[in-house]
Structure 1
Amino acid sequence: MKFRSVMIDAGPMREFSNVVTTISKLSKECVLRIAEDKLYFIVSDENNGPAPPVLWCEIPQPMFFSEYQMIGLDDDHKDIYLGFAAANLARSLSTLKSAKCLKMKLTKKQCPCLTLEIEMPSSTSQQTRHVTYDIPVVVIPRKMWADFNEPKTPYPDISIELPPLKQLRTTIDRMRTMASEVVIRASAEGRLTLQIRTDMAKVSTRFKDLKVEAFGGPIEHSDSETESQDNEDISRICYCKVDAKKFSIFLSAEQISHNRTVCSIVHKKLIILCLQTQENVKLQCFITGIVY
């Protein structure tokens, strides 16, 4: 197996660093899948053993790399799967904001490593300096690849475009000081509501006039979680209760320069958050609903 790539554009290097930093906040461990046309960052639920990924990030290599060479396991299994500590890669990439060049390659030292060579401008002369990081990785065997396939999810009942992530994160972080769970509710009319309940109070924040990308039809309600506003048809509302901390961590992705973020809800079961950038980076986060 071989892998070597070069990145020279400041914008993609900065975005690559921001993506990895966001992933490192979501999980300690991460899997990097190296394919011929894309890099994939994959995070699985740390507490449940082998399970479908909770985060799936695709980075198209032509948009980021000026050079990209890889040779996989064999002709039938062309990809490379590497496990590593996400924080190690995030710390190594923290200098990319001022770097001139990033080279990444798979090396064999005392153990398999993802080696980063970063070319930095010197503050005292016209010469450049080179910084090298060796990040230990685990080469994942072929028999385990199926654990890191793209998640197959039910078709969502509604997909709605989110308001600015920074504004959302401020709201949810305030709510987190009062409750650990939040109900995310979306209507076919373009309203998004975040709601928490405590023994002392109920707090709701509403966003209106959002773009609804898809709505699957009437929703049946047989409980008291959903509250309608005046003249609002509850059959056109769906919701899901999720961990407020997980939702907040995804919202830290606001540091990634993006052009749209969509929240898809499988009624009472699952929330799928999808962020897309102008460079065609796609970051999806899957948050399972809390059911009692």
Structure 2
Amino acid sequence: MKFRAVMIDAGPMREFTNIVSTISKLSKECVARIADDQLYFIVSDENSGPAPPILWCEIPHAMFFSEYQMVGLDDDHKDIYLEFTSTNLARSLITLKNAKSLKMKLTKKQCPCLTLEIEVPSSTSQQTRQVTHDIPVKVIPRKLWSDFQEPKIPKPDISIQLPTLKQLRTTIDRMRTMAAEVMLWASAEGRLTLQIKTDTSKVSTRFKDLRVEAFEGPIEHSDSETETQANEDKSNICYCRVDAKKFSMFLSADQISHNRTVCSIVHKRLVVLCLQTEENVKLQCFITGIVY
């Protein structure tokens, strides 16, 4: 197996750093899938053992790398799967803020490593210096690749564009101090409501006039969850209860320059959060619904 990639533009290097930094906040461990057309970062739920990914990030190499070469196991299994500690990669990329270039390659030292060679300008002369980071990785065997495939999800009942992530993050972080779970309501009229309940209080925040990209309703409601939505047409609402911490962690992606964020809800079962950038990076977070 071989892998070598080069970045020389400041914009892509900055964006790549922000993406890796965001992923490092979501999970300690990460898997990189190196394919001939894209670089993937995959995060699984740390507490559930082997399970479908909860985060899936696609980075088209043509938009980021001036050189990109890789050779997989064989002609039938062309990809490379590497497991590593995400914070190690994030810390190594801090140097990219003022760098002239980045070279990434798979090397064999005392153990397999993802080696970063970063060329940075010298503060005392016109010459440059090279900073090298060796990040230990574990090569994932072919028999385990099926654990790191993109989740197949049911067709969402509603897809609605999110308000600014910074605004959402402020709201959710305040709610998290009071409750561990948050209810997400989305209506066909473009309203998104976040709600928490405690033994002594109920707190809701509503965002209006959001763009609805798809609605597969009507959704018929027959339980008490719809009591708080008495002023809306209940047949046009989808909802899901999720872990507030996981929802908040996705919102840390606000540091990534993006042009579109969408929340898709499979009624009471699943929330899919998707961020896309102008460079065609797609970051998806899959949060399973909490059902009592």
TM-score bracket for this pair, using the shorter chain length: over 0.9
What are the superposed Cα offsets for residues 78-104 of structure 1, whole Å, 9 maximum, x if unpaired?
Answer: 000001111111111112121110100
> Match for residue 222 of structure 2?
222
C-alpha deviation, 1:45, in angstroms: 1.0
- AA aligned to 1:39 is L
C-alpha deviation, 1:125, in angstroms: 1.4
Alignment of 1:162-173 (within 5 A): 162-173=162-173
> Match for residue 26 of structure 1?
26
Alignment of 1:1-292 (within 5 A): 1-226=1-226, 227-230=228-231, 232-292=232-292
C-alpha deviation, 1:222, in angstroms: 2.0
Cα distance in structure 1, aligned partners of 2:283 and 2:92: 21
Cα distance in structure 1, aligned partners of 2:107 and 2:70: 12
C-alpha deviation, 1:129, in angstroms: 1.2
Cα distance in structure 2, aligned partners of 1:74 and 1:60: 22
Cα distance in structure 1, aligned partners of 2:3 and 2:120: 22
Alignment TM-score, normalising by the size of structure 1: 0.98
- Mark the runs of 5 or more structure 1 residues left unpaired by the alignment: none
- AA aligned to 2:147 is D
Cα distance in structure 1, aligned partners of 2:53 and 2:169: 23
* SS at structure 2 position matched to 1:124: coil
* SS at structure 2 position matched to 1:5: strand
* SS at structure 1 position matched to 2:279: coil
Cα distance in structure 2, aligned partners of 1:93 and 1:222: 51
What are the superposed Cα offsets for residues 131-172 of structure 1, whole Å, 9 maximum, x if unpaired?
Answer: 000000001111111110110011100000000000000011
- Mark the runs of 5 or more structure 2 residues left unpaired by the alignment: none
Q: List, as ranges, runs of 4+ consecutive aligned residues in structure 1 with deviation greater than 2 Å.
A: none
Cα distance in structure 2, aligned partners of 1:224 and 1:120: 60
Cα distance in structure 2, aligned partners of 1:223 and 1:113: 53
Cα distance in structure 2, aligned partners of 1:42 and 1:285: 10
Cα distance in structure 2, aligned partners of 1:212 and 1:273: 14
- AA aligned to 2:63 is M
Cα distance in structure 1, aligned partners of 2:225 and 2:182: 11
C-alpha deviation, 1:257, in angstroms: 0.2
Cα distance in structure 2, aligned partners of 1:115 and 1:33: 16
C-alpha deviation, 1:106, in angstroms: 0.2
- AA aligned to 2:229 is S
C-alpha deviation, 1:229, in angstroms: 4.7
C-alpha deviation, 1:48, in angstroms: 1.3
Cα distance in structure 1, aligned partners of 2:223 and 2:209: 26
Cα distance in structure 2, aligned partners of 1:25 and 1:190: 30
- AA aligned to 1:185 is W
C-alpha deviation, 1:124, in angstroms: 1.7
Cα distance in structure 2, aligned partners of 1:120 and 1:223: 60
* SS at structure 1 position matched to 2:224: coil
* SS at structure 1 position matched to 2:143: helix
Cα distance in structure 2, aligned partners of 1:173 and 1:146: 35
C-alpha deviation, 1:54, in angstroms: 0.4
Matched-pair identity in %: 82
Cα distance in structure 2, aligned partners of 1:67 and 1:233: 54
Cα distance in structure 2, aligned partners of 1:122 and 1:241: 52
State the aligned residue count.
291
Cα distance in structure 2, aligned partners of 1:125 and 1:83: 38
Cα distance in structure 1, aligned partners of 2:170 and 2:45: 25
C-alpha deviation, 1:50, in angstroms: 1.1
- AA aligned to 2:122 is S
Cα distance in structure 2, aligned partners of 1:19 and 1:58: 10
* SS at structure 1 position matched to 2:93: helix
